[in-house]
Amino acid sequence: MSNKFKWPVAGCVLLSLLLLMLPSLRQDAPAGNMMETYRYQYDTLHCAVATDSRLSYDMLQYFGDHVDAVVDISTGSSDLKDLDSLVHEGIDILVTAQPLDSIIASDSSGFLASRQIRNNIHWLVSCDDRQLLFMINSWLDGFMNSSAYDVMEARYYPSYNWQGDGNTAGRITPFDDLLKQYAQATGIDWLLLSALMYKESRYYAGAEYKEAKGLMQVKDVTAARYGVSDLFTPEDNIKAGSYHMRYLIKKYSKEGLDTLNVIKFALAAYNAGDNRIEQCRQHAKQEGKNPDDWEEVVTTFATNDSFEGVTTTAYVRDILASWEKLKSTVY
């Protein structure tokens, strides 16, 4: 490979955006000439996957077949230590699910990012591997609209979409027994846990969004409190999510809130964090509203410069509605 010329990070990110636009600018180019011009010039692609997404491994193999290269895949580091290898030629492609803004903040040597694949997953290449990024984005544009991708996505991200219709067997998801087990352990209605899970992941065991993972969208730092490390295992994920919900319910119960408000504030804190919700309650108190009444706290979001609250308000409302629907279906 050629000697590296390190671009400033901002320049690299801008270049990434420009390269993402190139497919629309080259639609009239002959396909045969395109492959001759942009064929990857090395026999082996050295890749690191710094995410738990199983989908990424298969996609890299498909891309290797596309460019006629052997794909060597290793497990990357989630703390972004692989970025140094990326820009110094040790790795050709780094797959990450880290938000790009966090990567930019941590990196001073530069990289190029592909289009987003799903759940914040991007493929990163070194700044002077523009040709490789061009090929990646061109291939992704076609592959992600193909039946092969649909099959692959269904394999790793199976959906189970509860419709709320007649359920005479009393079952909602394949995870009902686990929900009941941890409902008994935590004292929380298993249908409330099911409604929470539906809102978080639509019952997708492989769901990922930013740092949250699995059925109940738990972060690693939260899972560690409850002795959980594998958030893509349904039982471990449900355990972590259920015990965290119990922690939040106990927190607001100790403050003397009524039962419904305990649940509303616990759900809001599950979504936005209990420190954020405490700030909202203090703001409501300053506005002359009851900080122990969720609906009154909601009315003060419009004057809260620190928290918009729209997403969390809808989050609480949707889970409570699903909970009622579940109770009418199963009980």
The residues spanned by each domain of the chain are 9-156, 176-330
Instruction: List the chain pLDDT tens, one digit each, 331 residues.
Output: 333 334 444 455 555 555 454 444 333 333 334 444 445 566 888 888 877 667 888 999 999 999 889 998 887 665 556 566 665 667 889 888 776 766 665 554 578 889 888 767 889 888 878 889 999 999 999 998 888 888 887 777 665 555 544 444 567 888 999 999 999 999 999 999 999 999 998 888 878 877 899 999 999 999 999 999 889 889 999 999 999 999 999 999 999 999 999 999 999 999 999 999 999 999 999 999 999 999 999 999 999 999 989 999 999 999 999 999 998 877 5
pLDDT the model gives residue 63: 94
pLDDT the model gives residue 295: 97
Per the structure block, which two tokens stand in for 252?
């607001």
pLDDT the model gives residue 260: 97
Largest CA distance in the chain: 72
Alpha helix (H) residue ranges in 216-309: 220-225, 234-253, 259-272, 274-286, 294-298
What are the Cα distances from residue 111, in Å, to 37, 279, 314?
A: 23, 38, 37
Amino acid at 87: V
Q: How far apart are CA 77 and CA 96, in angstroms?
A: 9
Class of domain 176-330: mainly alpha
pLDDT the model gives residue 177: 94
Instruction: Select from 3.40.190.10, 1.20.1260.10, 3.40.50.2000, 3.10.450.50 the CATH code of 9-156.
Output: 3.40.190.10
- For 147, residues 6+ apart whose C-beta sits below 8 A from its C-beta are none
pLDDT the model gives residue 255: 94
